[in-house]
Amino acid sequence: MIIEHRCEHGIDIVTILANRVCLDNGDELANAVMSIAEQGTGRLVIDASAVLFEDSYIGVTGLCIKALKMVHPRGGYVYLTGLQPGVQSLFKLSRMDQVFPVYDSVDAAVDAIRARFDDGELKADANGEG
């Protein structure tokens, strides 16, 4: 198994179990996450704390973009947690952290999502946007 999936508070939490995202496992990982994104709540947390290698940045980014394309039309979001320092620095350098909120832990991401939604409806942020 390449991922673990659970649902908490109406939020799909996907934990990547592989320590590297590459050609060998990329399709399997993408298919598993896309299935959850398609059938799930639209609120998706991807925990990448097991992904140790910077060369996995492209695979993780591609996975997140695919998931966002799947959930965004339904008003969904993709949040990331547990990025290793090398991967996180690449996210910041490429400004992907402005597209995908990054949190230190799954609990922090779940709290942020729960604070953003009220009775299933998206609350506006400080800019008046959802």
Task: Pick the closest to residue 47 from 79, 11, 86, 69 (CA basis).
Answer: 79
The Cα–Cα gap between 54 and 3 comes to 19
Q: What does pTM read for this prediction?
A: 0.84
CATH of the domain at 49: 3.30.750.24
Q: Write out pLDDT tens, residues 22-33.
A: 777 778 888 899
What pLDDT is recorded for position 126? 41
Residue 128 falls inside a structural domain: no
From its phi and psi, is residue 30 left (phi > 0), alpha (psi between -120 and 50) or beta? alpha
> What's the domain count of the chain?
1
Which range marks the domain in which residue 84 is found?
3-122
Taking the CA of residue 83 as centre, how many other CA atoms within 13 Å lie in the half-sphere pointing to its CB?
Answer: 26
pLDDT string in tens for the chain (130-residue length)? 788 999 999 999 999 988 778 777 778 888 899 999 999 999 999 999 988 777 777 788 888 999 999 999 989 999 999 998 888 888 899 999 899 999 999 999 999 999 887 655 544 444 344 5
Token pair belonging to 46: 């991807």
Q: Is residue 130 part of a domain?
A: no
pLDDT score of 124: 45
**Is 87 domain-assigned?**
yes
Residue 99 placed within a domain: yes
In a domain, 90, yes or no: yes
23 token code pair: 């050609």
Would you say residue 98 lies in a domain?
yes
CB atoms under 10 Å from CB of 119, counted, come to 5
